[in-house]
Amino acid sequence: MRLVAWDTRPRCDQLPAWGQLRALSQRHAGGFDLRGAFAADAGRAARFGQEAPELFADLSRNWIDAATEDLLFDLARQAGVEAHRDAMFAGEPINNTEQRAVLHTLLRAPAGAPQAGAAWDQALAEVHRTLDAMLAYAEQVRADAAITDVVNIGIGGSDLGPQMVVRALDAYAAPGRRLHFVSNVDGHELAAVLRQVRPASTLFLIASKTFTTAETMLNARSALAWFQAQGGTDVARHFAALSSNVPAARAFGIASIFGFWDWVGGRYSLWSAIGLPIAIAIGAERFRELLAGAHAMDRHFRSAPLAANLPIRLGLLDVWYRNFMGFTSRSIAPYHSALARLPAYLQQLEMESNGKRVDRHGAPVPYGTSPVLWGEPGTNGQHAYFQMLHQGTDVVPVEFIAVREAAHTLPGHQAALLANALAQAQALMQGRADAGGHRDFPGNRPSTFLLLPALTPRSLGALIALQEHRVFTSGSVWGINSFDQWGVELGKVLAKDIEPRLSSGAADGLDAATAALLGRLRG
């Protein structure tokens, strides 16, 4: 395996800054005193607040101080995070297990922006040709009054990203058209959608880079069979493919095919042709604004110094919490109902990227990597799991995401929503003493507060890119490959073996538990 400059440093737990952070964490073994930190430093809120493209971040309620953050910056330098970042933007094959570049950032770069060499200049030109064609098709669909329903069939990154963004930007969607998302191989999901649509007024988007993804293709074949059984005849008009496998899509009967490249990972693909349902929902101009917001965050991540680089600061905070404070999860609390699918999207982004137990060279790592991400929109979460956040035995850092301006005009709602978000962050930190015990809130619970002026295509693009680069940062420190996903393979292989057994009943070679369950399912 070829090593490049950014990949020759020692493992992160062998770096000097790691040992210094370990010693510092031991001084905080009983917990960092947040209330004391605010009492001792009147400027703490300002010092740990940061403006970034399209959003503001308040990091002041986290278990860090200036000395901790300085050591984390030292760790990033010693781990080669900046060099690794630069290698990504230069198109080096940092996805070393698949020998691929990682250039989803190219998908949102402006046309003609200089790249690292003629090959990537040509790639950018091809990106924009594909983008222009995809957006022209989206506008064609938007102008077709006969198409009232669009059904996106995909899974993983071909579903989570587009679905999250379409819902988040519902305020920008044209009226009179419904978008549906089908991902699960469970036929109940597809059947529920098909009950709502008619062949003559439905467009199906089949989203699969290889056009071989098992769940997607089973759903696609079932959708095609339904379409034909219901009297549909013009497959070319009612089906489009988001795929690089043009021959397979054409064999399916599809004429409108929009591809993308092997340097675009699935969980980073909403910026590509996979974003077609987004473009149909919000239009070409708004889609370009989404790209522009992400590109603004790319520039920030690429050029801002460490101490003023928000993705790097968040990624390093994640390392501090995971490896030195012992926190194993992070709760995402978006205080905007349109961001309801953001926690699920971030689960894939972070846990599929950094849920690795070996480093880039295949050697086991002796430290924790990805935390578990989970959450629900506020204020719903307050009536579900916030009990544990406030009074449970585990400390769980919370990431609040709030939006200042509402997209509705209903009186009183936005003030109530924002008051709840502020109150929860305040309560987690301050707590409340109670001699009776049951009403005692220990406080001193850490949180981050991200504030968007408004939920727009541009601000959403910046927020998503912020999370992408944050995940890159922590993965870079840990020395893992954040851009492969071999962990999803084994279950797929075993499912192919088990599926025919459900008909045949053959249990040879199965473990006893699986064989017993197979018998019950057949019975």
Q: How many whole angstroms separate alpha carbon 154 and alpha carbon 205? A: 8
Query: Angle at CA 467, nearest 5°, toward 463 and 471?
Result: 170
> In sequence order, what E strands does 4-148 have?
49-52, 55-58
Q: How many whole angstroms separate alpha carbon 523 and alpha carbon 314? A: 52
The separation between CA 429 and the C-alpha centre of its own chain, rounded to angstroms, equals 27
Q: What are phi and psi of 441, to 5 degrees?
A: -110, 110
CA distances from 473 to 315, 396, 469 (A): 5, 21, 6
- How do beta strands 256-258 and 329-335 pair? unpaired
Residue 134, H or E segment = helix 118-143
Under 8 Å between Cβ of 297 and 311: yes
Residue positions annotated with a catalytic role: 352, 383, 492
Under 8 Å between Cβ of 75 and 319: yes
- How do beta strands 55-58 and 202-207 pair? unpaired
Name all contacts of 16-21 with Cβ < 8 Å and 24+ positions apart: 16/74, 16/78, 17/71, 17/72, 17/74, 17/75, 17/78, 18/75, 20/71, 20/74, 21/68, 21/71, 21/72, 21/75, 21/320, 21/323, 21/324
Query: Angle at CA 413, nearest 5°, toward 173 and 178?
Result: 20
Under 8 Å between Cβ of 248 and 220: no
CA distances from 450 to 39, 160, 187, 398 (A): 23, 21, 38, 11
Buried b (16+ CB within 10 A) or exposed e, 239-252: bbbbbbbeebbeeb
Q: How many whole angstroms separate alpha carbon 66 and alpha carbon 68? A: 5
Q: Around Cβ 27, how many Cβ atoms within 10 Å? A: 8
Task: Scan for tokens 């709840």, then name that residue.
Answer: 420
Under 8 Å between Cβ of 47 and 66: yes
Q: How many whole angstroms separate alpha carbon 59 and alpha carbon 69? A: 11
- How do beta strands 55-58 and 49-52 pair? antiparallel
